[in-house]
Every structure is written in structure tokens, then in C-alpha cells.
Amino acid sequence: MDGDGEELTAQETALYDRQIRVWGADAQRRLSKAHVLVYGMKGTIAEFCKNIVLAGVGSLTLIDDRLVTEEALSVNFLIPPDENVYSGKTIAQLCCDSLKDFNPMVRVFVEKGDLSSFDVEFFGKFDVVVVSCSSRSAKKLANEKCRKASKRVAFYTVECRDSCGEIFVDLQDYKYSKKKLEETIECHLKYPSFEDALSVPWSALHRRMSKLYFAMRVIEKFEEAEGRSAGDVSDADLSSVLKLKKELCTAQSLNESHVPDTLLERLVADTTEFPPVSAVIGGILGQEVIKAISGKGDPIKNFFYFDASDGKGVIEDISDSNTGK
Amino acid sequence: MASSSSSVIKDAKVLMVGAGGIGCELLKTLALSGFADIHIIDMDTIEVSNLNRQFLFRQSHVGQSKAKVARDAVLKFRPKINITSYHANVKDPDFNVDFFKQFNVVLNGLDNLDARRHVNRLCLAADVPLVESGTTGFLGQVTVHVKGRTECYECHPKPAPKTYPVCTITSTPSKFVHCIVWAKDLLFTKLFGDKNQDNDLNVRSSDAASSSKNVDDIFEHSKDEDIAQYGKKIFDHVFGYNIELALSNEETWKNRNRPKPIYSKDVLSDELSKQNGNLDNDNACGDGLSVSAMSSLGMKNPQDVWSLRENSRILLEALRLFFTKREKEIGNLCFDKDDQLAVEFVTAAANIRAASFGIPLHSLFEAKGIAGNIVHAVATTNAVIAGLIVIEAIKVLKNDIKSYRMTYCLEHPSRNLLLMPVEPFEPNKSCYVCSESPVLLEINTNHSKLKDVVEKIIKAKLGMSLPLVMNASNLLYEAGDIEEDMVAIYNANLEKVLAELPSPVTNGTMLTVEDFQQELKCNINIKHRGI
């Protein structure tokens, strides 16, 4: 991602005037050469796509082969609510049509297929990969492939349930610059993979760790054990989920109070995204991706949580290096 | 939270003020969240520089009403809800207390202090909760204002826009912004703006005071004067002669770096300056705002920092273009950040002055941002803030007072928090807006006129738009729609000093001021202050 090279056109300077004043012309040039891939077009990803298309990335590729459902319509503003328009088209195609309209300078493409069907070479074509609506093992696999690519691919996962959201970030070996007072300083961060982060023993995590981290892992595990797709849980599963929580806490030597039943109840009972939370998470994710492309500003390392019920947006660092081992 | 709120959301009637950066995001998120009766006010029309973040707008909408286009765009994906748009100023008298009373909550996505204060007062008078917001770059905040429960928007004074001491601007600039203010407010106004305005352009020097009349004539352009000659004369006067004059004030430069006078002949070779004056084959067409010195000199990149010579050429060329292509406007021009030629002129003038004072030069892009007070804005912060506004609005509708939060969106996390909620503060008991607490005004009642109090205090500081002023039961002044004979009396009162009014205002007087539109009444205790 070389920031130098050709200058911005007059059209770009006029359109992006206000944001160039925030992140500079060099960052804008890098953005316009970056290629982003998203998998799973729910409401939060729709928000994210809107944000980076407006920001002016080079290209955006969408994957979501599902057809339109009531739920998809209710949370995704990129899908026109007209059956004559949406019938027979996949969600990715519909979102692609809307997104192209947002910024004619950004190329938007659609790819088809299941996340597991794409190889290292495919992921290696992108600078940023964002995965949603997928099982834990599918995310892990996609993350491994991104890590094997010949150039660095920034990898993110994002999920929203009820009024809660989670972002995971893997920037591998990441160098960036940031402003400190009047000076620009160079920084370096090492990220664990998705797998390595999730293998950090719960007992090794700090005591005030976001409860959402544990709750999301319990539900993920439940869905995987039951062979469900991501988000396919309901009230009826609550007792099994609570049982699994007990087992996991015992196995990981974690006091059960770190994973409140009420929180699990919320996440199981309402798996639909809550649009204000999608806006918040989609906004934060958009900002993180812009930072990673431009190489400017402190990125999140490596989890972010937001819960509308307490209003906190928390960064958690879950990596071996952070557990004191 | 999501499902338990659906009935309060569906039944709510909300007012949005502002359909800009935050407004577009907010209208979308409200519609997705199930709000079905939304009213939206915005007086602005769409500009190209909005399109990078105000995602409901397209190139084809440039020039149209923001409120209306935003409404139409959201109805496309939520056709069954009601959105009412008003292309109007929220300060219009139509939007009175009764208008505000019909709403369950008011949501602000505004860009200026004045309108925010106005909406705050109407919400207090109508007893409607207000969710207030703002963003700059990566920073943003959302606050909740509920009468009697939390502080109002004005419980704590907001920082006023930065101003600079006159002498820093006229004689001793030390930062680039000082040069911009000089170029914009003094030089640009002197040459192209209202001739009758007071102007501190000429350096005050003990020797020069006597000849100030003659100096003013220098700026007059006589009909038969060659424009190239005129340009060089202005250049040499403001960047050369005036600096020499300032240098003669030895006292000023004891502890400062001495500026360097710059004359046109030093920076422009004869050949170049001739070419400058004869460049008549420029590509400027009839439309005034598209005339550009940069394009007629073949300079393209607004991000480049020009050399002193380039700045000088731009300055002279911009001056020439004003006098040849936009003659009719001269005398009535105000600086406008969207006027390319004006921005070029101001950038060049500020840079030449900066060079003279040893201050680093800046690009046109940067100079435009400073001169136009352009607020940095990105889509993502607005999206996050809009989400937080809706979360807060739902709490307000559920009357869930204990959960109200002010939330800050930070650029650098504070103790791991990127979004930091804080419990709202109690109302400030000495706030003149929400607590009927009097304000104290120290003033020289023998020198200050009623006009000063009305304009500089009641309107500018207290933020009233149509005030009425009373001393006990005697009416001193009333703005707005009033009978003609009263207008004469009030106008006479405005010109009187306080102590000489029909009912004299002196030490210890308590004035009552009232704004009927804002339904705000406030007492002012007068304390006489002699000089």
C-alpha cells in the first residue's frame, strides 16, 4: 500500500475535502487503492459498507448468496423493499446496486460461494477482509488463509445481537504512525490470530474483562456443537446454553458471575440486530479499516465491545503477550 | 432493549433539527429502528463537499433542500412511515413553543451554537426532552437535556469562537492564522468589500497618522489606471511600505523577529510581471465563481505550497481578474470559502505576509480550511453518534431516567473506553436559561447606550432574537412587529445612554428582558462601573 504515486484528481479533492482535512491527502490516496472484501451482508455490514464506500476505497467485493427475507429487509437499508426489484436476486447483488450509487468513484463487485470455498490466493487479492454471519470454525479458517497470503491482509470479524456488538481485529505484524503532540511517531504491534486469541485461557484474562467476550464464546460454542448456523438460536435453547456456560466456566476455572445469565438470555432471545447498535459498530469498524489502510492512528487491539444497555464501547486486548506468560 | 421498545418507538413523534452529516445518519437509523413519525427541519441546500458523508444525497441533488432530499431518500427504503420535511430556519417564528409541544423528543444534529441555544430554549419552554449532539473529526458527543432533571444545553457557557487581538493581526502576526485573518478581514475587505467599513489595514505609526487620508487613496482604483500598475502599487504598499513603517516603531521589535519588507520588483522579474498583466487569453468564462487565478496561471494542485514568487503571481492575477471579470461585485464582496478567486487571493496574500514575518507558508487547501472555519468531518463518527442519539432517544421515550447518559466518542481510548458514557449533570441553579436566575451586568451607565446592551449583550451574549426590554413597568424597547409610533420611541431610546433613558438605568436597576418566541424571561441586575 504505497501512499505515493499519482495525485488526487480535482473531483476527488472536491468530494473528499472534509475528510482529507481529517486524515490527509496521502491517506486518501492509499484508500483509493485499497481492495476490501466483506462476507455476510447483515445490517452492521451494510453500515460498514456505506461508510467505506463514502470514504472512497478503491474497490469493495460483497459475498452473500442468500435471498431476501423479512429480517434482511428490516435491518439492511441497502435492499429496496420492492418485491419486483428484489425477487430472484441475492442480497449481495441488491446491496451492490445500492452501494454503487453512493459513490461513483468506488468499484463494487459481487462474488458467489461459501466462505470455506475460497482459497489463499483469493483472499490475497484484498487488503482488508471482513467476515460476519459465520461459525467460529469458518472464521478461523478464513483468518488462517488470510495469514498465509503473500502480502499482509487485515482481517476482521463482526457480530451484532440484540443491543450488543463485537469486533475482532487481526492486523498480524502491523507498523503505523501516529501523532503525539506535534510529533509523528512510528509504532509497531503484533496481533495474535483468531485461533490464538480464543485459546488464551479465561483464567489468564484480567478480572474486568468484558462479559460479552465470554457470552459470545458460549453461544458460538453452542451453535457449533449443535451444528447450527450463526445466529440460529432462540428462547428454547436458553437452558442448554446456560448448561454449556456452566461447563465452560468450570473447565476454564472462571467464576460464573463473569458470564451473567441475563446477558445470555438477551443474546439468545433476540438475535436480530438492533439498528442503532449496527450504526455504532459499523461506524467503529469503518474507522478501524480506514486506519489500517492509511497506516495512521492507534488501531483496536484486538477486540471491541459495545452494549447499548450500559453505553460503554470497550477495547479488550486478548493475546498471549498480554496475559503475563 | 430492541424488542421491548417497539411500542414507544412506533407511537413516538420526533423532531429532528438538521439534515446534514449527523442528520442523514440519524434519519436512516430512526427509520430502521421503527420510528414512524419524523419531522425534519433544515435550511441548507446540498453542496458537493457534503457528498462524502451525507449519504442520502447524490451529485444530481446539489442545490436542492437537504431536508426534502433526505426525506425522499429514506422513504425509498421505508415507504410506509411518515416523514415531514421543512426547508426552513429553525429560528423562524413558525417553529414556536406550540410547534415544539407536539413532539415527544427533539433530536439536534446542528452545526452552530446559535441554533442550538435557540432549540434548547424552545425545548425548555415546551417541556420536551432534547437529545443534543456534535462531531469534529473523530470526536463526538451526545447529551440528554430534560427540564428539571438534567442540565440544559446552556447551564455551562460554551467556549466562544476564537478571536485575536487587533494588534496581533495588524502588526505582529506570529501564526499563519493571523495572516489569514489579516488577508481576509482587512486586505480583501479593503479592496473588494464595503468601503465604508472601519478598517485597520494601515499600520498605525506615529509618523503616519497625519497622512492617513492620502494613504486611503492608494486603494482607490481610478478608471484609466493600468491594472498591472495598480496591482503592483497595492502589493508594494501593503507588503513593502507598511512593513517599513512598522519597522520604524523600534519598541515593537525589541523582543520580536523583525519582519522583512517585500516589494513586487524583488519577487517578480520584469518579464514575469509583464506577462501577468497581459494574460488576457485566460480560460475564465462568464460565471463569476468559476474565474480562477490558479487555472489562468496553469497551477492545478490545491495541496501544493506555493513559493513566494508563485504567491505573488497568484495575488496579482487574482486582483486583475477581480477588476476585469468581476468588476460589478467590487464594493459588495464578502469573503466566502466557496468563492475560488477569493480563496486564491486570501491564500496568496496571507502567504506573502507570512513570508515577510518568517511564518511557514501553507497550501490553498489548508488556507481555505482556516479562512472558511471549515469543520473536519467524517462519515463514521457521524454514524456512531447517530446510533447513540437513537439509543438515548429511546430511553427518553421510556422515561428511563436512571439510564440517561452523556456519551463521548473519543479518538484515543481512555482506560480502554472508545465510547465513554457519563451520568448527566444536575441543572445548574444559577443558569439564567433554565433556572430563572438573574444575570449581573457591570457596565458604565453614563457611557453605554441602550443599543449596546440590546445588540452586544441581549442578542449576542444572551442569544435572544426578538427581545423586549423593561425597567420595572416601563417598556424601553421591543423588537419585532410593532406600531410605527412606538418604533420611533424605541429607536430614540436605543441611541440614549442608559442613565438618560425615560426611566433611567443606573446602579442597582433590575432590567427584565423577554423573548416571546423562545418564551424566555431573564432579569439583568445592573452594576454601574466607572472608568
Pure H helices in B127-269: 166-170, 176-181, 189-192, 212-218, 227-235, 242-247, 264-267
Q: Give residue B278's pLDDT.
A: 44
Q: How confident is the model at residue B246 (pLDDT cuts 50, 70, 90)?
A: confident
Residue B1 has pLDDT above 60, yes or no: no
Chain A residues whose CB is inside 8 A of the B52 CB are: 15-19, 54-56
User: Which position has the higher pLDDT, B214 or B5?
Assistant: B5
Class of domain B439-528: alpha beta
Query: Would you place residue B215 in the very low, low, confident or very high pLDDT band (cuts 50, 70, 90)?
Result: low
For residue B221, what pLDDT band results from cuts at 50, 70 and 90? confident
Q: Do A312 and B420 touch (CB under 8 A)?
A: yes
Q: How confident is residue A46, by pLDDT bands cut at 50, 70 and 90?
A: very high
- Are the Cβ atoms of A283 and B383 closer than 8 angstroms? yes
Mean pLDDT of B138-144: 94
Q: What pLDDT was estimated at residue B144?
A: 97
Q: Cβ contact (<8 Å) for A163 and B52?
A: no
Longest dimension (CA), chain A: 62
Q: Distance, in angstroms, between A80 CA and closest chain B CA?
A: 5
- Ordered by start, the domain boundaries in chain B are 3-160+376-422, 166-371, 439-528
Asked if the C-beta of A314 comes within 8 angstroms of chain B's C-beta atoms, the answer is yes
Residues 6+ apart with CB under 8 A from B256: B172
Selecting from A77, A300, A314 the residue whose C-beta is nearest the C-beta of B28 gives A77
pLDDT of residue B403: 94
Q: What is the pLDDT of residues B162-171, one digit of tens each?
A: 778 888 898 8
Distance CA A196, CA A200 (A): 7
Confidence of residue B386 (pLDDT cuts 50, 70, 90): very high
Assess whether A285 and A264 both reside in one domain: no
The pTM score is: 0.86
Q: Which amino acid is at B442?
A: E
Contact check, Cβ <8 Å, B413/A315: yes
Test A310 with B421 for CB contact under 8 angstroms: yes
Dump pLDDT digits (tens) for A179-235. Answer: 887 788 999 999 999 999 999 999 999 989 999 999 999 999 999 999 988 888 999
- Provide the pLDDT for residue A15: 83
The better pLDDT of the pair B93, B199 is held by B93
Least CB–CB distance from B49: residue in A17, A56, A101: A17
The pLDDT assigned to B112 comes to: 87
Q: Is residue A299 part of a domain?
A: yes
- How close, in Å, is residue A120 to chain B by CA atoms? 30
Cell (9 digits) for B305:
505550497
Q: What is the mean pLDDT of residues B239-243?
A: 93
Whether residue B474 is predicted with pLDDT greater than 60 in this model: the reply is yes
Share of chain B above pLDDT 70, in %: 91
Residue A1 falls inside a structural domain: no
Q: Is residue A58 in a domain?
A: yes
- Burial-class residue B7 by CB neighbours within 10 Å (0-12, 13-18, 19+): exposed
- Give the model's confidence band at B349: pLDDT under 50 very low, under 70 low, under 90 confident, else very high: very high
Q: What is the pLDDT of residues B350-381, one digit of tens each?
A: 999 999 999 999 999 999 989 988 777 788 99
Contact list, A21 vs chain B (CB under 8 Å):
369, 374, 376
Domain that holds residue A209: 197-269
Tell me the DSSP string of B353-389. HHHHTTPPP--HHHHHHHHTTPPP--HHHHHHHHHHH
A287 contacts in B (CB within 8 Å)?
138, 378, 380-381, 384
Task: At B366, give phi and psi (nearest 5°).
Answer: -70, -45
Domains identified in chain A, total number: 2
Cβ-based contacts under 8 A for chains A and B: 176
Query: Are A46 and A184 within one domain?
Result: yes
Indicate which residue of B24, B152, B155, B167 is catalytic. Answer: B167
Q: Which residue of A has its CA nearest to B303?
A: A25
Q: What is the ipTM of this complex?
A: 0.94
* Contact present, A39 and A117 (Cβ < 8 Å): no
Position of cell 481610478?
B222
Closest CA–CA distance from residue B83 to any residue of chain A (Å): 16
DSSP 8-state class, residue B428: P
Q: Determine whether the interchain pair B421/A43 forms a contact, defined as Cβ–Cβ distance below 8 Å.
A: no
A182 and A306 belong to one structural domain:
yes
Does the pLDDT of residue B160 top 90, yes or no? no
Does residue A237 belong to the interface with chain B, where contact is any CB pair within 8 Å?
Answer: no
**pLDDT at position B272:** 52
Question: Which architecture does CATH list for B3-160+376-422?
Answer: 3-Layer(aba) Sandwich (3.40)
Confidence band, pLDDT 50/70/90 cuts, at residue B3: low
Q: Say whether both A117 and A252 belong to one domain.
A: no
Together in a domain, A203 and A177: no
| B434 is an active site residue | no
Give a yes or no: residue A322 inside a domain. Answer: no
Nearest CA in chain B to A7: B301
Of A51, A275, A311, the CB nearest to B419: A311
CB–CB contact A313 B29 (8 Å): no
Residue A13 to residue B376, Cβ atoms within 8 A:
no
Query: Residue A121: which CATH number?
Result: 3.40.50.720
Cβ under 8 Å to B: A residues 279-308: 279-280, 282-284, 286-287, 290, 297-298, 300, 304, 306, 308
Secondary structure letter of residue B158 according to DSSP: P
Residue A119 to chain B, least CA–CA distance (Å): 31
Closest by Cα among A88, A141, A91, A96 to A119? A141
Judgement on whether residues A280 and A239 belong to the same structural domain of the protein: no
Q: In terms of domains, do A183 and A218 share one?
A: no
A246 and A158 together in one domain? no
Average pLDDT of the segment spanning A14-33: 87
Tell me: do A90 and A187 sit in the same domain: yes
pLDDT at B16 over 50: yes
User: What does the DSSP assignment read for A238-275?
Assistant: HHHHHHHHHHHHHHTT--GGGS-HHHHHHHHH--SB-H
Please return the burial class of B151, using the count of CB atoms within 10 Å of its CB with bins 0-12, 13-18 and 19+. Answer: buried
pLDDT band at B210 (very low <50, low <70, confident <90, very high): very low
Q: What is the pLDDT of residue B277?
A: 45
Determine the pLDDT at residue B483: 84
Sort out which chain B residues have CB atoms less than 8 A from A51's CB and list them.
Answer: 379-380, 383
CATH pick for B166-371 out of 1.10.10.520, 3.40.1280.10, 1.10.3720.10, 3.40.109.10: 1.10.10.520
Residue-wise pLDDT for B252-290, tens only, equals 888 888 999 999 988 887 555 455 444 444 444 445 557
- pLDDT for B286 equals 46
Burial class (CB within 10 angstroms; exposed 0-12, middle 13-18, buried 19+) of A252: middle
Helix axes B340-356, B308-325, angle to 10 degrees: 140
pLDDT at residue B281 in the model: 46
User: Residue A4: is its pLDDT beyond 60?
Assistant: no
Which has the higher per-residue pLDDT, A312 or B196?
A: A312
Give residue A19's pLDDT: 83
> Per-residue pLDDT tens for A126-168?
999 999 999 999 999 999 999 999 999 999 999 999 899 999 9
Which of A233, A249, A269 lies at the terminal end of a domain, its last residue?
A269
